[in-house]
Amino acid sequence: MTGTRIRERRLMLGVRQAELARSVGISASYLNLIEHNRRRIGGKLLIDIGRALNVDAATLAEGADAAISSALRDAAAQHESARADLSRIEEFASRFPGWARLLADRQRRVTELERVVEMLSDRLTHDPFLSASLHEVLSTITAIRSTAGILAETEDLDPEWHSRFLRNLRDDSRRLAEGAQALVGYLDDSADVVGRQSLPQEELEDFLDARAYHVAELEEGRDDIDNLIAAADMLVTASGRDLARRYLARYARDAACLPMAPLVAAVARHGLDPAALAQDFGLDPTLVFRRLAALPAERGGADVGLVICDGSGTLTFRKPVAGFALPRFGAACPLWPLYQALSRPMAPIRTTVELSGRPARRFLAYAICQPVAGNGFDSPQVFESSMLILPEPGEDSAPAQPIGTACRICPRPACPARREASILADGFQVGMPAPG
Amino acid sequence: MGSNVLLIEDEPNIIEAIRFILARDGWHVQTHSEGTSALAAVLRARPDLLILDVMLPGRSGFDILRDIRACAEIAALPVLMLTAKGQSRDRAMAESLGVSRFMTKPFSNAEMLAAVRDLAAR
């Protein structure tokens, strides 16, 4: 059934229900009813969902055969040798339905596993809590191993030393048990792809995600920032609340400069074109970036992604958009226009990018780097770069800048900006039949 | 080579175990457990061999090793580096800074002793 196929496709791509619902302008509960085949779906909404899930609406509507064909096409696209047979997929599926279903199932499983590995690798490599916990556990194991070795191998051990090492062993064993328990608890909590909100930036993102990045209370001036923060359960740490306070203060200033009503009216005239909007209002383009990212989902906000980094390249703000994966920890792809802008302050950049992945997705990116306001004349210059991520309009076949999410989970082997090997190349393609 | 070893490590029970193992093998072991003042401790102790942990409070073992290699008085000091982070990039970093030997935690007492004896024999 169509709903089941939507759910299957969404889970395969690792898109959250709320995220998909937002991107097509419906509520998560309504999408849930659709996915469980308790609401009929067709027309524009089906087309929008198909677009958001990067699959033909017909494939979602037509059923298993179409879904198998889609998975086989994805598989064939990754193997040079199979590309020549792309036109014969239907013939293959009808002559060998069992093999076709098996291959399609394997393809879906590979994609799911790659996403899990990406997430876990990202976490293992860059998660400061996990890194510190593993260090602690390994250090404790080292102490236990050395102490146990002394106790077992030293025949003439002085009784005083003997009791001292036994005491150390007992203390270290307890420490190891506590450390391992904490680690298991942390990883258990992380089993959900969303993961536990353990960093201040994640707390803020969770807070904003719950509002689809549109803080209606500040748009309408009916609440103040301190009240908003006090009422937010997800802002659990002082750092998280401080980060939220600074973000919301800037949000309120932006909203005062460019209120939502005229912005929505201007978007109806210009579309999501930040250059035209900035010119129309005579405002700083990065302020327009931020206001577009704050549009309500049903007014186009669901299609708008935004990332901001400081002069070191550290991502300080992330508003995700379906199909454009943002790293949770650590550095992103150096080929992002965000970083190109960092090396050319004040020069606006507009470019079509193609994000590596299965399937590859194209986006229109606008980026600009500017000095942080209010920094004075005598202080070191502090820059901030912003990149707006929009859907690529139409079926543009013009060349796009290939980019990834981060080197470690990017499958482009010959990238000139690669700084470390990809686990996808090492972990998945080795052992598979060589293409060609 | 003499028999003075300086152990820079912040984990008290690892310090105690390594000190015991090396002392029984005839080494005179001094210890230090903080990163910021580690270079001064090396200059003060003038050991024949240094065992250096990577993750230290205040300053990383990599930074300390870099300073040692840049300081003419102690630039040739054999350094055995210990880390709980066995990733290849850490090993590469240590090698690029001129580490004499690199050991990943957890290690056995026999491995530790063999590494120290091997460095002393060079």
pLDDT, position A337:
96
Containing A310, the helix (H) or strand (E) segment is strand A305-310
Looking at residue B99, its pLDDT comes to 94
A94 and A149 co-located in one domain: no
Closest Cα to residue B14, out of A172, A379, A74? Answer: A172
Q: Check whether residue A143 and residue A181 sit in a common domain.
A: yes
Residue A326 lies in a domain: no
- Dihedral, CA atoms, A58, A271, A268, A270, nearest 10 degrees? -150
User: Taking a C-beta distance cutoff of 8 angstroms, is the pair A103, A93 a contact?
Assistant: no
CA quadruple A45, A48, A50, A53: dihedral, nearest 10: -130
> In the block, which residue shows the tokens 């399609």?
A104
Tens-place pLDDT, residues A96-112: 888 888 888 888 788 77
Do both A9 and A91 map to the same domain? yes
Provide the CATH number for the domain around residue A72: 1.10.260.40
Q: Say if residue A433's pLDDT is above 50.
A: no
Does residue A343 carry a pLDDT above 70? Answer: yes
Burial category of A35 from C-beta neighbours within 10 Å (exposed 0-12, middle 13-18, buried 19 and up)? buried
Measured between beta carbons, which residues in chain A are less than 8 angstroms from residue B11? Answer: 139-140, 142-143
Would you say residue A280 has pLDDT above 80?
Answer: yes
Q: Report if residue A35 sits inside a domain.
A: yes
Q: Which two tokens stand for residue A9?
A: 């496709």
| Mean pLDDT rounded to a whole number for chain A | 83
Rounded CA separation B49/B7 (Å):
9
Range of the domain at B16: 4-121
pLDDT at A423: 62
CB contacts of B108 in chain A (<8 Å) are: 145-146, 149
Token pair, residue A31, equals: 């999408």
**Average pLDDT in the B96-100 region?**
93
Query: Which helix (DSSP H) or strand (DSSP E) does residue A385 occupy?
Result: strand A383-391
Q: Are residues A94 and A40 in the same domain?
A: yes
Q: Which of A167, A189, A211 is the last residue of a domain?
A: A189
| Domain extent for A18 | 2-113
Q: What is the pLDDT of residues A311-342, one digit of tens each?
A: 999 899 999 888 888 887 677 899 999 999 99
Is residue A278, in this structure, part of any structural domain at all?
Answer: no
What is the chain B residue with the closest CA to A141?
Answer: B106
Domain identity same for A135 and A41: no
Write the pLDDT tens digit of every residue in A345-356. 999 999 999 887
Q: Last residue of a domain, which of A161, A189, A217?
A: A189
Closest CA to B115 of B81, B86, B85: B81
Question: Which of A142-151, A174-183, B17-26 is least confident?
Answer: A174-183
pTM listed for this prediction: 0.51
- pLDDT at site A202: 81
Q: How many domains does chain A fold into?
A: 2
Judgement on whether residues A155 and A55 belong to the same structural domain of the protein: no
Task: Give the span between the Cα atoms of A307 and A61, in whole angstroms.
Answer: 35
Instruction: Select from A131, A144, A146 the Cβ nearest to the Cβ of B18.
Output: A146
Burial of A40 (0-12, 13-18, 19+ CB in 10 A): exposed
Count of other CB atoms within 10 angstroms of residue A9 = 23
Average pLDDT, stretch A381-391? 93
At residue A63, the pLDDT reads 65
User: What does the pLDDT look like over A33-42, one tens digit per residue?
Assistant: 888 888 888 8
Residue contact B106–A150, C-beta within 8 A: no
Residue A79 shares a structural domain with residue A146: no
| One domain, residues A102 and A6 | yes
Instruction: Please give the pLDDT value at position A124.
Output: 66
Residue B46 pLDDT > 80, yes or no?
Answer: yes
pLDDT value for A415: 87
The predicted pLDDT at position B29 comes to: 96
CA–CA dist A294, A255 (Å, integer)? 9
% pLDDT > 70, chain A: 88
CA distance B77 to B99: 10
Q: Measured between alpha carbons, how far is A410 from A177 in angstroms, rounded to an integer?
A: 36
- Residues A407 and A422: beta-carbon distance below 8 Å: yes
What is the per-residue pLDDT across A85-99, written as a single tens digit (0 to 9) for each? 777 887 787 778 888
pLDDT by residue (tens digit) across A207-255? Answer: 998 889 999 989 877 678 988 998 888 887 778 888 999 999 999 999 9
Question: Which runs of consecutive H residues, i.e. helices, occur in A315-407?
Answer: 337-342
Least confident residue range of A60-64, A208-212, A285-289, B7-11 = A60-64
Nearest by CB: B13 against A135, A154, A172: A172
pLDDT of residue A395 exceeding 60: no
Structurally, chain B folds into a number of domains equal to 1
Of A139, A154, A420, the CB nearest to B11: A139
The verdict on B74 touching A (C-beta cutoff 8 Å) is no
DSSP A49: H
Long-range CB contact pairs, A236-243, < 8 A, 24+: A236/A197, A236/A203, A237/A200, A237/A203, A239/A200, A240/A200, A240/A203, A240/A204, A242/A200, A243/A200, A243/A201, A243/A203, A243/A204
Cβ proximity of A118 and A190 under 8 Å: no
Q: What are phi and psi of A259, to 5 degrees?
A: -65, 160
Lookup: tokens for A185: 């608890």
Instruction: Report the share of chain A in percent with pLDDT over 90.
Output: 31
Which residues of chain A make contact with B55, given a CB cutoff of 8 A?
135, 139
As a whole number of angstroms, the distance between CA A320 and CA B96 comes to 38
The CATH number given to whatever domain includes residue B94 is 3.40.50.2300
Answer whether residue B73 shows pLDDT above 90: yes
For residue A330, tell me if it sits in a domain. Answer: no
